[in-house]
């Protein structure tokens, strides 16, 4: 951290969009400049959004955990095959798509626009795979008779908890896939800066992070033994 | 000295990202294994929540790069998040008693 502040120049004369990050990094902390976190406003904005969205998901996850612990007749509908296997594969796909996103950000930092666009495309493909697998999972449960406030096995809250949590998460994944495709296309064509790629990466990693809570708490706490 | 070493380390270390990825997959494996151990729901919830927090921290620190941003960013974001989450847990002990308090 320290070395950046000392090398600071005013960063003037750079093109506004592309130079924003560089200017923010180089600006001296004591010059009265406006970037205390050494990052562009879009990136800071995304961080703030992520924290507020994290609180939304926390509220849902904690509410779910509450009814899960307090219900004696919580349904245990997830067989090892196919449900748990499928959810594990979905976790793998999402984690791997995070790695491809990291590679995209790295390529963007090195100014390799084509490579970065391909890695972002791979990430979006991972997200799409996740959505398809999850849609099948929903279809299976609905076929078995799970509704928002009704299911054949036990506590009627199961459907509400399951569909709300995974549904909100899937909405985030779907928005993320669209976002990534737009960023990949624009960045490949020479628009946007490497920081814009980084911002989309932050969002994608957050979506991945939320699933790290939903997978064990929703699926692994409700597995069918034997 | 330490600063510059850290900087070259994060600039282009695909190795580090893959290392973090392996850890995340490994912890996922542990969670799936745990699911089939016959533990009580409270203990299981604690273990799974704990492992998930470790995984989330790895993602935030390395994939989301927070470790390499200015410390002030983490100091602004994380205490606020942790405080709110702790407040959300205020009513949680009720859920542990509820099962035994229900009229039969």
pLDDT in tens, A26-62: 556 566 666 778 888 899 999 999 999 999 999 999 9
Mean of pLDDT over chain A = 87
Nearest to B69 by CA among A198, A175, A95, A132: A198
pLDDT for residue A119: 97
> At A2, is the pLDDT very low, low, confident or very high (cuts 50, 70, 90)?
very low
* pLDDT at site A40: 87
Mean pLDDT for chain B overall: 86
What integer is the mean pLDDT of B29-48? Answer: 91
A57: distance to nearest CA of chain B, Å? 10
Q: Is the pLDDT of residue A153 over 60?
A: yes
Is pLDDT of A179 > 90?
yes
Determine the straight-line distance between the first and last CA of chain B, rounded to whole angstroms.
67
Six token digits for residue A71:
């219900």
Rounded to an integer, what distance in angstroms lies between the CA atom of residue A178 and that of residue A167? 17
Whether complex ipTM tops 0.95: no
Minimum mean pLDDT range among A41-55, A79-93, B8-22: B8-22
- Residue B30 banded pLDDT, cuts 50, 70, 90: very high
List chain A residues with CB under 8 Å of B73: 37, 39, 44, 47
Q: How far apart are CA B47 and CA A71, in angstroms?
A: 19
Region B40-57 average pLDDT: 93
Better pLDDT: A171 or A6? A171
pLDDT for A31 equals 65
Largest CA distance in chain A: 68
CB-CB under 8 Å, A62 with B89:
yes
A115-129, B6-20, B40-54: range with lowest mean pLDDT: B6-20
**Mean pLDDT lowest among A115-124, B54-63, B95-104:** B95-104
Buried b (16+ CB within 10 A) or exposed e, A75-113: bebbeeeebbebbbebbebbbbbbbbbbbbbbbbbeeeb
In chain B, the residue whose alpha carbon lies closest to the alpha carbon of A78 is: B35
Chain CA centroid to CA A24, Å? 26
* Among candidates A71, A206, A221 on the partner chain, residue whose Cβ is nearest the Cβ of B48: A221
Given A37, A39, A95, which is nearest B24 (Cβ)? A95
- Cβ neighbours for A37, distance < 8 A, ≥ 6 positions apart: A44, B69, B70, B72, B73, B76
Q: What number of H helices and E strands is found in chain B?
A: 5, 0
Q: Which residue has the tokens 């490497």?
A: A194
pLDDT attached to residue A141: 93
- Kindly state whether A39 is in contact with chain B, defined as any CB-CB distance less than 8 angstroms: yes
Q: Region A102-117: what's the mean pLDDT? A: 95
**Closest Cβ–Cβ partner in A51, A110, A205 for B80:** A51
Q: What is the pLDDT of residue A160?
A: 94
Closest Cα in chain B, distance from residue A14 (Å): 22
CA atoms within 13 A on the CB side of A198: 22
Task: Find the residue in B nearest to A106 (Cα).
Answer: B12
Interchain contact, A37 vs B73, CB within 8 Å: yes
């Amino acid at each position: 951290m320290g070395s950046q502040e000392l090398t600071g120049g005013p960063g003037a004369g750079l093109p506004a969009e592309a130079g924003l990050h560089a200017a923010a990094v180089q600006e001296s902390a004591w010059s009265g400049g406006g970037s205390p976190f050494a990052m562009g406003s879009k990136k800071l904005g995304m961080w703030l959004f992520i924290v507020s969205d994290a609180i939304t998901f926390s509220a849902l996850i904690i509410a779910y955990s509450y009814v899960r612990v307090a219900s004696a007749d919580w349904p245990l509908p997830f067989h090892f095959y196919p449900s748990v296997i499928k959810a594990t594969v979905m976790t793998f796909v999402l984690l791997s798509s995070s790695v491809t996103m990291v590679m995209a950000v790295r390529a963007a930092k090195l100014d390799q626009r084509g490579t970065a666009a391909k890695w972002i495309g791979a990430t979006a493909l991972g997200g799409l795979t996740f959505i398809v697998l999850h849609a099948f999972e929903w279809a299976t449960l609905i076929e078995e008779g799970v509704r928002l406030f009704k299911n054949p096995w036990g506590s009627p809250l199961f459907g509400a908890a399951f569909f709300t949590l995974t549904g909100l998460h899937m909405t985030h994944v779907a928005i993320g896939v669209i976002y990534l495709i737009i960023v990949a296309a624009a960045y490949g064509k020479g628009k946007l800066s490497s920081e814009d790629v980084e911002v989309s990466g932050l969002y994608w990693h957050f979506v991945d992070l939320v699933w790290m809570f939903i997978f064990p708490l929703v699926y692994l706490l409700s597995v069918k033994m034997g | 000295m330490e600063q510059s070493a850290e900087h070259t380390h994060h600039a282009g270390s695909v190795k580090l990202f893959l290392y973090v990825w392996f850890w995340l997959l490994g912890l996922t494996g542990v969670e799936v294994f745990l699911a089939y151990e016959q533990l009580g729901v409270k203990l299981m919830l604690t273990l799974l929540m704990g492992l998930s927090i470790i995984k989330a921290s790895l993602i935030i620190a390395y994939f989301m790069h927070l470790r390499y941003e200015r410390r002030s960013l983490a100091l602004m974001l994380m205490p606020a998040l942790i405080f709110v989450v702790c407040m959300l847990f205020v009513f949680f002990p009720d859920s542990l008693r509820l099962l035994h308090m229900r009229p039969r």
